[in-house]
Amino acid sequence: QVRIVEDGGGEVQPGDSLTLSCAASGSGRDITTMGWYRQAPGTQRELVASISETGVADYAESESVKGRFTISRDNAKNMIYLQMNSLKPEDTAVYYCRVESVSIHWGREGPFWGRGTQVTVAT
């Protein structure tokens, strides 16, 4: 099993910045792709950004986050970060960390999901 700990959510004003963090751990396995998804009330969970173990980042195809959000990774700590700038009310959602891994016994695993962290941007 992979343990996932998310942090950094909160309530902010439009135009503010927030940084989310996600730490993944699990014995006998390598953490591979990690990413952030978000889900607003009444909507489906959607990709915000993901990053491979080699640092290749992938962002949502829509223009909703491009140029404002940046994903980064610290492989030594199995952590990812989501720097969110110029936040808008439409960014309000629960943000979930998603993790894939490779077990030394079972091969590829996942995805595993964190419990989510709430980001609220005032209207």
Ranges 7-11, 21-25, 58-62: which has the least confidence: 58-62
pLDDT in tens, 41-57: 999 999 999 999 999 99
**15, burial (CB in 10 Å: exposed 0-12, middle 13-18, buried 19+):** exposed
Instruction: Indicate whether 62 pLDDT > 80.
Output: no
CA separation for the pair 96, 89 (Å, rounded): 18
Residue with tokens 């751990």: 25
The vertex-111 CA angle with 107 and 112, nearest 5°, equals 110
Conformation bin of residue 52: beta by default, left when phi > 0, alpha when psi is -120 to 50:
beta
Residues in the chain: 123
Closest CA to 49 of 20, 88, 10: 20
